[in-house]
Structure 1
Amino acid sequence: MADIFDEVEEDLRRARFERLWSKYWPVMLGFAVVVVVVVGGWRFYDYLQAQRSAAAGAKFEAALRLSRTSGSEAEQQFAALASDAPSGYRILARFRQATELAARDKAAGAAAFDALAADGGIGPVLQDLARLRAAYALVDSAPPAELVRRAEPLASADGPFRHSAREILALAALKAGDRPAAERWIKAIQDDRETPQGVRGRADLMSTVFSASGS
């Protein structure tokens, strides 16, 4: 008897399924088509983005190679990438374009880095990097007070670019003839265990010069 009841129950389930299928199959088919189209479209979009990134990467590498021999032409190529490359390469190209520009015109290069520093879309770390690069571009030409204004906010104890910012501040103090300030920033460089070797070496050299010139 149990087998008979099981067979009847199975027949009832099959009948209910067939009724549901006959009623809703267009909806189910439409939903399946939508899923296939959406997934296919997303994968095609990913493919296009990957192709764009690969092409931008190749152009960026070519511009880097060109920068060794022709900065002005490289600058033009970086400018083109900065306008139409995918986001990551667009930001890199803007930094490289500003670098090439600063090589021939310090003030114009600093202005390009200032534009990057003002762009909240690149994130605070890259904005601070742009501020530092602008200060470096002007380190030989700007008044000491201008260099202090630019670099001092980056010299905090936990700042990722504090080492270079402190070096700029030491140089600004030297330009201003402010020996106590220069020595203070040199000491900050020397006392920081995370100071890169190159920055530390230059700070040690300045300290040696101070010692040789007398207190």
Structure 2
Amino acid sequence: MSELFDEVDEEVRREQLKKLWERYSIYIIAGAILIVAAVGGWRGYQYLEAKKAAEAGAAFEAAAELSEQNKHAEAEAAFAKLATTAPYGYRVLSRLRAAAEVATRDPQAAAKLYDDIAADRSVGAPEQDLARIRAAGLLLDTTSYNDMLHRLEPATAPSATYRHTARELLALSAWRANDAVATRQWLDMIANDGETPASLRSRAEALQALLPPVAKS
């Protein structure tokens, strides 16, 4: 008797499933097609992005080789093109390299390009700081200490990636301006930072030796 009831229940379930399929099959099929299309689209996007990145990487290396061969005008043009056409990461690197190529013929114009990168909020903080330092390095011999301070102070924070170089440039600029107090401030900051590179620490100590002794009260 129980077997009969089992057969009846099975038949009822089949009938219910059949009705559900007849009612919702179009939606189930459409959903499956959408999932397949979405996965295929994502895979296609990943492939195209990887292809673009590989092409940009090859073009970047080719531009770098032109620079190493002292073909700076050609390298500048190649980096400038990548700065507008390459994927995001290569665009930023290419802007930095294009500015470096300009620096070989016009340091002031290169400093302006670096300033533009430093002011671009879409660029990461480390890249902004690097641009600040590159510009300041080009202008060290021609600009005032106050201008250097304005440019570099954001890059001297304890967590800043390039803080060591920024502090050294400020110390040099203050020394050139005969500002012993400011020079000593930055040299002390270099000395007290446990992560200061050994070579930079040695240069700071050498500059410290050139300062007049602190007056005793």
Q: Same fold judged by TM-score > 0.5?
A: yes
Unaligned runs of 5+ in 1: none
Q: 2:20 — aligned with what?
A: 20
> Shift in Å at residue 93 of structure 1?
0.8
CA distance in 1, matches of 2:160, 2:174: 20
CA distance in 2, matches of 1:32, 1:157: 53
Matched, 1:116 2:117: yes
Q: 1:61 — aligned with what?
A: 61
CA distance in 2, matches of 1:23, 1:156: 65
Paired letter, 2:163: R
CA distance in 1, matches of 2:157, 2:45: 43
> Shift in Å at residue 167 of structure 1?
0.6
> Shift in Å at residue 83 of structure 1?
0.4
Matched, 1:167 2:157: no
Paired letter, 2:138: A
CA distance in 2, matches of 1:138, 1:168: 10
Q: 2:8 — aligned with what?
A: 8
Matched, 1:39 2:39: yes
CA distance in 1, matches of 2:54, 2:205: 44
Paired letter, 1:116: I
CA distance in 2, matches of 1:111, 1:104: 13
> Shift in Å at residue 205 of structure 1?
2.1
**Deviations, residues 5-47 of structure 1 (Å, cap 9, x unaligned):** 1111111111111122123222221221121112111111110
CA distance in 2, matches of 1:120, 1:157: 21
CA distance in 1, matches of 2:66, 2:49: 25
CA distance in 2, matches of 1:191, 1:79: 40
Q: TM-score, normalised by structure 1?
A: 0.91
Tell me the SS of whatever aligns to 1:21.
helix
> What is the percentage of aligned positions where both structures have the same residue?
43
Q: TM-score, normalised by structure 2?
A: 0.90
Give the count of matched residue pairs.
Answer: 214
Matched, 1:82 2:83: yes
Contact 2:115 2:135 in 1 (8 A): yes
Q: 1:73 — aligned with what?
A: 74
Worse overlay, 151-160 or 96-105 = 151-160
CA distance in 2, matches of 1:53, 1:152: 35
Q: 1:149 — aligned with what?
A: 150
Paired letter, 1:163: H
CA distance 1:39–1:158, shift in 2 (3 Å):
closer
Calculate the aligned-residue CA RMSD, in Å. Answer: 2.0
> Shift in Å at residue 148 of structure 1?
1.9
**Deviations, residues 58-102 of structure 1 (Å, cap 9, x unaligned):** 111111121112122111111111001011111111111112222
> Shift in Å at residue 214 of structure 1?
11
Matched, 1:189 2:190: yes
**Deviations, residues 168-187 of structure 1 (Å, cap 9, x unaligned):** 11111121112232223222
Worse overlay, 192-201 or 85-94 = 192-201
CA distance in 1, matches of 2:146, 2:29: 71
Q: Which runs of 4+ in 1 moved over 4 A?
A: none
Worse overlay, 55-64 or 195-204 = 195-204
CA distance in 2, matches of 1:150, 1:37: 51
Q: 2:107 — aligned with what?
A: 106
